């Protein structure tokens, strides 16, 4: 943790649970070149499993693990034995490496990669040999009772025999099994599979159906742990003629759902491909080779929230009345505060050396959850594009259905092919490349105490909206996506009694109809009955920002008519600064260290308009603790006695 947070005692202890250390979901585009996939997961030292699947076409699910030698793949959608394909060349201390000519790295193929690290109370992988007799015990190191066990014979053809604690609605699940490679429901009851013996925190038991060599992927269930420590839950729910809300106590980033009462596919969803509270949720199917959404689209089937997920009524694949569904849910990586600003915020101009090396147009070094891109061409009529991963709704990875807003317009979602978010940056569609040669992208990663993205559906009456920020938000941008209407900006200073418009120059508007005259808390913010923030059945997206010592600063200052230093608690100055006058009209001015925050002229643009980049004024200067504001006529960010808000990132 940073020195500042050690002194302020505002960061969790160093041994706090951190799902980002044990699980990664990412998307990438193949380039037919040997490459390292860096995701921060220590597979070389700790061991684990990598699950790869092509998104934009048919292709087997390919699973590789550190328990089996020789780089062999096993496939969840068929009964085949393991195959010695050469796709993953090594398991590394920070991810894994791909070979040049593999199916997992064909040029322009778009793929999903899920990495599971071995860790107590999260995941384990073991191999074992069974002799077809009953009551063989298999040791594991999960350190807790497994919630789900996927087993596959590796030296011959056989189904994926799978245990889940939710089979038979949780009553004697050890008497039942289900096929991961098929659509059938639960099978049993008999002793041939788990010998009618419940697994323990050190072993599980197999029966006479097992004969040969096997691999077992063992998933924990943390539902009995303290909420702050939970990273994974294996559970079940019963379908209804209404929506069914599954309360996890936290937001999921990866879901696997299966109907156990009748036939149905194994649906896989994850936050890297989009998990909104509304609209399509991209899905892969573990038991078929189909492309993403090739079996069926998840049109409003599943909606995630900061407290769990909801399955909509009338969706037979996920919510048939009285049917029992099992699931695995893995927590979103909002469990631990970042240590440095570069972990969660990046600036990039197109095709830098780092971007070219990572096969992206804009390099971040981390999975991007939201970005604002603006062309720096010296002309007017250039919009500010805002895209977020949760709601982009890119359902096949290539077609033109990415959703984006303009920060300078009040319109609803626009459609484009402008996004492929990888684990190292963002990839605008190639047809857009000619327009962003001088563009700058500001890229945020969701992280506890720093930044969050929330989607919600309006109720038409005053309510609270939960979030996962883990801190009190000091600035919130809210935008309706299924209808026109301006941006509403909550600030800590306004405390819900007044608000700003992101697309306008206006001063504070005094009203309780947007944020219900209620200050936000570390778990919720409030909205009233205004169409801009809470129309009944309205679909909304909120971006939450706050102060994190040494990394970001939301604050206010009063102008002095000359110059002054705005302290932010930084040690090496600000890379990005946003300033807005609040007692009178004024633009939402933005500066960044790529365009230049220097002792001299500082090029800058505005979030609220299409105006060309301003090159010839010196409104701000660098300062190690934050930044300096100067009073320059026309820009007016330090008018005597004027009031301002700002947001700076180190």
pLDDT of residue 402: 66
Phi and psi torsions of 44, nearest 5°:
-65, -45
* Nearest C-alpha neighbor of 606 from the set 383, 288, 377: 383
pLDDT of residue 432: 46
Model confidence at 28, pLDDT cuts 50, 70, 90, reads confident
Per-domain residue ranges of the chain: 19-117, 123-220, 227-331, 341-444, 451-545, 552-649
Residue 434, classified by CB atoms within 10 Å of its CB into exposed (0-12), middle (13-18) or buried (19+), is: exposed
Flag whether pLDDT at 1 surpasses 50.
Answer: no
The predicted-structure confidence for 93-104, as pLDDT tens digits, reads as follows: 999 999 987 788
Look up the pTM and report it. 0.91
Residue 215 contacts by C-beta under 8 Å, 6 or more apart in sequence?
A: 65, 67, 68, 74, 82, 125, 126, 127, 151, 152, 154
Q: Largest Cα–Cα distance in the chain?
A: 86
Q: How many residues does the chain have?
A: 650
What does the block give as tokens for 186? 């639960």
| Calpha distance 257→327 (Å, rounded) | 4
* Nearest C-alpha neighbor of 451 from the set 518, 366, 530, 569: 366
* Nearest C-alpha neighbor of 385 from the set 395, 375, 397: 375
Flag whether pLDDT at 194 surpasses 50.
Answer: yes
Residue 434: DSSP 8-state: G
Model confidence at 437, pLDDT cuts 50, 70, 90, reads low
Instruction: Determine contact, residues 263/184, Cβ cutoff 8 Å.
Output: yes
254 by DSSP, 3-state: which?
strand
The predicted-structure confidence for 246-267, as pLDDT tens digits, reads as follows: 999 999 999 999 999 999 999 9
| Calpha distance 93→117 (Å, rounded) | 11
Torsion over CA: 312, 315, 316, 318 (sign): negative
Flag whether pLDDT at 404 surpasses 90.
Answer: no
Flag whether pLDDT at 42 surpasses 90.
Answer: yes
- Mean pLDDT across the stretch 459-469? 96
Between the alpha carbon of residue 511 and those of residues 209, 329, 456, 541, the distances in Å are: 68, 40, 22, 20
Share of the chain above pLDDT 70, in %: 90
Flag whether pLDDT at 359 surpasses 70.
Answer: no
Model confidence at 403, pLDDT cuts 50, 70, 90, reads confident
Instruction: Determine contact, residues 261/324, Cβ cutoff 8 Å.
Output: yes
Instruction: Determine contact, residues 331/253, Cβ cutoff 8 Å.
Output: yes
Model confidence at 123, pLDDT cuts 50, 70, 90, reads very high
pLDDT of residue 484: 80
Centroid of chain to Cα 388: 9
Higher pLDDT, residue 455 or 295? 455
What does the block give as tokens for 356? 């070219």
Q: Which range has the worst mean pLDDT, 122-131, 449-458, 480-489, 558-567?
A: 480-489
Model confidence at 433, pLDDT cuts 50, 70, 90, reads very low
| Calpha distance 116→43 (Å, rounded) | 9
Model confidence at 422, pLDDT cuts 50, 70, 90, reads low
pLDDT of residue 382: 83
Flag whether pLDDT at 399 surpasses 70.
Answer: no
Instruction: Determine contact, residues 213/154, Cβ cutoff 8 Å.
Output: yes
């Amino acid at each position: 943790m940073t020195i500042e947070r050690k002194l302020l005692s505002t960061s969790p202890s160093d041994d706090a649970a951190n799902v980002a250390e044990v699980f990664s979901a990412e998307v990438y585009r193949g380039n037919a070149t040997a490459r390292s996939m860096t995701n921060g997961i220590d597979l070389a030292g700790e061991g684990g499993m990598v699950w790869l699947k092509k998104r934009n076409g048919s292709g087997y699910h390919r699973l590789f693990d550190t328990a089996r030698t020789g780089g062999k793949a096993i496939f969840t959608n068929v009964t085949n034995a393991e195959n010695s394909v050469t796709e993953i060349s090594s398991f590394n201390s920070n991810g894994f490496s791909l070979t040049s000519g593999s199916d997992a790295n064909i040029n322009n193929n778009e793929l999903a990669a899920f990495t599971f690290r071995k860790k107590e109370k999260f995941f384990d992988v073991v191999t074992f040999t069974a002799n077809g007799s009953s009551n063989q015990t298999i040791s594991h190191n999960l350190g807790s009772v497994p919630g789900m066990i996927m087993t596959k014979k590796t030296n011959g053809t056989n189904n994926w025999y799978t245990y889940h604690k939710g089979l038979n609605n949780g009553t004697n699940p050890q008497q039942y099994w289900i096929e991961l490679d098929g659509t059938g429901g639960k099978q049993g009851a008999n002793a041939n599979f788990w010998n009618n013996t419940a697994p323990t925190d050190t072993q599980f038991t197999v029966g006479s159906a097992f004969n040969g060599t096997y691999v077992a992927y063992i998933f924990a269930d943390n539902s009995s742990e303290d909420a702050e420590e939970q990273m994974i839950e294996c559970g079940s729910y019963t379908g209804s003629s209404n929506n069914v809300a599954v309360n996890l106590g936290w937001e999921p980033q990866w879901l696997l759902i299966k109907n156990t009462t009748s036939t149905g596919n194994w649906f896989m969803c994850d936050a890297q491909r989009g998990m909104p509270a509304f609209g399509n949720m991209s899905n892969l199917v573990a038991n078929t080779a189909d492309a993403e959404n090739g079996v069926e689209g998840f049109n409003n089937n599943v909606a995630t929230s900061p407290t769990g997920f909801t399955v909509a009524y009338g969706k037979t694949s996920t919510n048939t009345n009285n049917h029992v569904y099992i699931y695995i849910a893995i927590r979103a990586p909002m469990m631990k505060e970042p240590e440095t600003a570069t972990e969660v915020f990046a600036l990039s101009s197109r095709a830098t050396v780092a971007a070219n090396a990572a096969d992206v147009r804009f390099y971040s070094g981390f999975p991007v959850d939201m970005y604002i891109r603006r062309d720096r061409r010296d002309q007017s009529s250039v919009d500010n594009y805002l895209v977020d991963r949760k709601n982009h709704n890119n359902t096949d990875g290539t077609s033109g259905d990415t959703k984006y807003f303009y920060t300078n317009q009040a319109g609803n979602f626009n459609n484009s092919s402008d996004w492929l978010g990888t684990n190292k940056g963002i990839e605008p569609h190639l047809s857009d490349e000619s327009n962003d040669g001088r563009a700058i992208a500001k890229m945020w990663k969701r992280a506890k105490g720093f930044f969050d993205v929330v989607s919600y559906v309006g109720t038409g009456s005053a309510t609270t909206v939960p979030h996962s920020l883990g801190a009190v938000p000091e600035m919130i941008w809210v935008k309706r996506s299924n209808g026109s209407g301006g941006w509403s900006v909550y600030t800590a200073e306004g405390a819900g009694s007044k608000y700003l418009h992101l697309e306008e120059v206006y001063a504070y508007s005094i009203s309780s109809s947007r944020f219900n005259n209620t200050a936000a808390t570390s778990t919720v913010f409030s909205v009233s009955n205004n169409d801009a923030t809470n129309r009944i059945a309205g679909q909304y997206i909120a971006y939450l920002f706050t102060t994190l010592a040494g990394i970001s600063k939301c604050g206010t200052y009063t102008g002095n008519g000359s110059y002054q230093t705005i302290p932010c608690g930084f040690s090496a100055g600000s890379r990005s600064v946003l300033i807005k006058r609040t007692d009178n009209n004024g633009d939402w001015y933005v500066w960044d260290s790529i365009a230049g925050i220097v002792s001299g002229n500082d090029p800058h643009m505005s979030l609220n308009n299409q105006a060309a980049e301003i090159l010839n004024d010196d409104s701000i200067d660098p300062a190690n603790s934050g930044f300096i504001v100067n009073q320059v006529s026309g820009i007016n960010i330090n008018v005597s006695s004027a009031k301002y808000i700002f947001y700076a990132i180190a």
